[in-house]
């Protein structure tokens, strides 16, 4: 029997006995950012793209156009233009998703149509045993236009990277929200923790919001609850894969080294905690530095951050036997009184709804003589001024809302609770440099960092 003809849409039932199995296989698709660089037969690539054109399109206009790039030089250029998407140079093909402008613009219907086709291609690639990833982050459109010789009446909306994943690529898919959270019947209903704060306004017109200019962005973590921050960060950390070296910005590099160098000597079996490690950039550096017998506790607000960091540590060839993955809620650390030898808070106080209460918590869980290593982005610096004028106008970043805090203020919070044992400023410029500054100037650097001892 012709199965296509027999699925008549009448609801009488499917003649495909294993339709559930097919859906389950489709659901195992996951994004790949670690391709092996091998080639795929050009005929198969064409079939995948042709499969995508079975998607519906607004007014059936099919105003889409797909440019399949397999030329290695162009793929290298595509990677450079994209900025961060190194997988553009390692996949087998990039399919640029384009459309002709001027028709079916309302409600983004042309964009919706191209999106449907792209997902259909992804399923086709997946069922054939390939990996892929959809990318909106393609970089500067003018440079791409030149490279692809795209006429002005056509627009670019993204690129689908198709290839074969490396055997060592992370084997898991980004977590999905519980279904109950993201649907409702007949009217809007959704748990408050999944609706994030925005600046109060009568309306939030879509076109008033841009990536780098969002007048409604609420960067003040005190306007967010711990639950909202945890919810946001736990999903957004999966915007990338838990690969080695992920989330290491140029700005951070040397600064991380300077911040962690404040950690003093520890006993061979010490207990160390890092608070709100998000994507684990400091966690991997800490694990690398700590003696094998030292336990590293990672305290996050969402288990999804912890599963990300666990795989990242694996990808970085770091041992997991003395890593403890601990969820905490509402600002209460999941540790007993006087149980830890060191607590590290690297650029996280400024992400918290209640930073002073957190420092009280740190005092509670530290053993007498234990160290708190604290660093914060300093409002009272060239970076703080840049944050005020530029950064804070944009959307809240994937790490969640934050506001730099004046170094002098943080110093006061620390001095009220601990003995200040060492203090430095890091970075005189707004970005990039990691000059270490001691003495008076330390309070005017991009980062203020201190080692504090609990008496
Ligand atoms: C419209 C769209 C744009 C995306 N852009 C990027 C991108 O520029 N870079 C990237 O690494 N991933 C990108 N992704 C991949 C998502 O991060 C990914 O689909 C998400 O984390 C869920 O993971 P999964 O695909 O493994 O289920 C994009 C996905 C979509 C749907």
Q: Write a three-state SS string for the chain.
A: CCHHHHCCCCCCCCCCCCHHHHHHHHCCCCECCCECCCCCCHHHHHHHHHHHCCCCCHHHCCCEEEEEECCHHHHHHHHHHHCCCHHHCCCCEEEEEEEECCCCCHHHHHHHHHHHHHHHHHHHHHHCCCEEEEECCCCCHHHHHHHHCCCCCEEEEEEEEEECECCCCCCCCCCCCCHHHCCCCCCCCCCHHHCCCECCCCCCCHHHCECCECCCECCCHHHCCHHHHHHHHHHHHHHCCCCCCCCCCCCCHHHHHHHHCCCCCCCCCCEEEEECCCCCHHHHHHHHHCCCCCEEEEEECCHHHHHHHHHHHHHCCCCCCCEEEEECECCECCCCCCCEEEEEEECCHHHCCCHHHHHHHHHHHEEEEEEEEEEEEECCCHHHHHHHHCHHHCCCCCCCCCCCECHHHHHHHHHCCCEEEEEEEECCCCCCCCCEECHHHHHHCCEEEEEEECC
Instruction: State in Å: Cα 132 to ligand 1 middle.
Output: 10
- Measured CA to CA, the distance from residue 400 to residue 56 in angstroms comes to 36
Instruction: State in Å: Cα 107 to ligand 1 middle.
Output: 22
User: Residues of CATH 3.40.50.150 domain(s) within the chain?
Assistant: 253-453
At 200 the pLDDT is 97
Give me the residues paired with residue 371 across strands: 342, 453
Instruction: State in Å: Cα 241 to ligand 1 middle.
Output: 10
At 431 the pLDDT is 85
* Residue with CA closest to ligand 1 atom 6: 135
Q: Are strands 340-346 and 271-275 parallel, antiparallel or unpaired?
A: parallel
At 5 the pLDDT is 57
- Which ligand 1 atom minimizes the distance to the CA of 133? 15
User: Residues of CATH 3.40.109.10 domain(s) within the chain?
Assistant: 14-163
Q: What is the pLDDT of residues 245-266, one digit of tens each?
A: 999 976 677 899 999 999 999 9
- For the chain, helix (H) and strand (E) counts, in that order, are 13, 12
308 lines ligand 1 (CB under 6 A): no
Instruction: State in Å: Cα 109 to ligand 1 middle.
Output: 20
At 271 the pLDDT is 98
Q: What is the pLDDT of residues 20-52, one digit of tens each?
A: 999 999 999 999 999 999 999 999 999 999 999
126 lines ligand 1 (CB under 6 A): no
pTM (2 d.p.): 0.96
* Residue with CA closest to ligand 1 atom 4: 135
* Residue with CA closest to ligand 1 atom 23: 174
Q: Which residues of the chain have pLDDT under 70?
A: 1-6, 250-251
Instruction: State in Å: Cα 195 to ligand 1 middle.
Output: 21
28 lines ligand 1 (CB under 6 A): no
At 250 the pLDDT is 64
Instruction: State in Å: Cα 230 to ligand 1 middle.
Output: 20
Q: Which CATH architecture has domain 253-453?
A: 3-Layer(aba) Sandwich (3.40)
131 lines ligand 1 (CB under 6 A): no
304 lines ligand 1 (CB under 6 A): no
159 lines ligand 1 (CB under 6 A): no
- Determine the length of the chain: 455
* Residue with CA closest to ligand 1 atom 19: 31
31 lines ligand 1 (CB under 6 A): yes
Instruction: State in Å: Cα 111 to ligand 1 middle.
Output: 16
- Which ligand 1 atom minimizes the distance to the CA of 174? 23
Instruction: State in Å: Cα 31 to ligand 1 middle.
Output: 7
Instruction: State in Å: Cα 263 to ligand 1 middle.
Output: 36
* Residue with CA closest to ligand 1 atom 30: 134
What is the fold, at CATH topology level, of the domain defined by 14-163?
Answer: NADH Oxidase (3.40.109)
86 lines ligand 1 (CB under 6 A): no
At 335 the pLDDT is 98
Q: Classify 350 as helix, strand or coil.
A: helix
Q: What is the pLDDT of residues 138-176, one digit of tens each?
A: 999 999 999 999 999 999 999 999 999 999 999 999 999
């Amino acid at each position: 029997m012709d199965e296509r003809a027999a699925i008549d849409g009448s609801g009488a039932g499917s003649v495909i006995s294993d339709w559930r199995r097919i859906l389950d296989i489709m659901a195992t698709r996951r994004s790949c950012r670690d391709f092996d660089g091998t080639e795929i037969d050009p005929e198969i690539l064409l079939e995948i793209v042709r499969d995508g054109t079975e998607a519906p399109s607004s007014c059936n206009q099919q105003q889409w156009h797909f440019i399949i790039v397999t030329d290695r030089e162009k793929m290298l250029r595509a990677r450079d233009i994209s900025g961060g998407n190194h997988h553009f140079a390692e996949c087998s093909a990039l399919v640029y998703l384009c459309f002709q402008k001027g028709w079916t613009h309302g409600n983004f219907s042309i964009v919706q149509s191209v999106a449907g086709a792209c997902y259909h291609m992804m399923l086709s690639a997946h069922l054939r045993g390939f990996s892929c990833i959809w990318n909106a982050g393609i970089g500067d459109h003018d440079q791409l236009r030149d490279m692809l010789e795209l006429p002005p009446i056509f627009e670019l909306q993204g690129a689908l990277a198709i290839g074969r994943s490396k055997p060592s690529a992370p084997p898991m898919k980004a977590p999905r929200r519980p279904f109950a959270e993201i649907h409702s019947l007949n009217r809007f209903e959704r748990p408050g923790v999944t609706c994030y704060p925005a600046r109060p306004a009568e309306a939030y017109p879509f076109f008033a919001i841009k990536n780098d200019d969002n007048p409604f962005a609420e960067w003040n973590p005190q306007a967010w609850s711990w639950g909202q921050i945890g919810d946001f960060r736990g999903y957004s950390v999966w915007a990338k894969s838990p690969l080695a070296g992920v989330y290491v910005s140029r700005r951070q590099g040397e600064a991380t080294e300077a911040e962690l160098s404040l950690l003093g000597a520890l006993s061979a079996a010490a207990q160390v905690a890092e608070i709100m490690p998000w994507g684990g950039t400091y966690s991997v550096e800490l694990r690398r530095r700590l003696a094998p017998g030292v336990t590293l506790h990672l305290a996050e607000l969402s288990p999804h951050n912890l599963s990300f960091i666990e795989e990242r540590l694996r990808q970085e060839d770091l041992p997991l036997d003395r890593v403890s993955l601990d969820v905490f809620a509402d600002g209460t650390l999941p540790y007993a009184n006087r149980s830890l030898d060191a607590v590290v808070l690297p650029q996280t106080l400024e992400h918290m709804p209640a930073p002073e209460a957190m420092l009280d918590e740190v005092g509670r869980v530290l053993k007498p003589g234990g160290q708190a290593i604290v660093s914060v982005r300093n409002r009272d610096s060239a970076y703080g001024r840049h944050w005020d004028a530029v950064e804070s106008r944009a959307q809240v970043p994937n790490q969640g809302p934050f506001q730099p805090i004046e170094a002098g203020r943080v110093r006061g919070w620390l001095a009220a609770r601990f003995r200040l044992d060492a203090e430095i400023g890091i970075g005189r410029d707004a970005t990039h440099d990691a000059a270490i500054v001691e003495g008076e100037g330390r309070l005017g650097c991009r980062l203020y960092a201190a080692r504090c001892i609990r008496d």
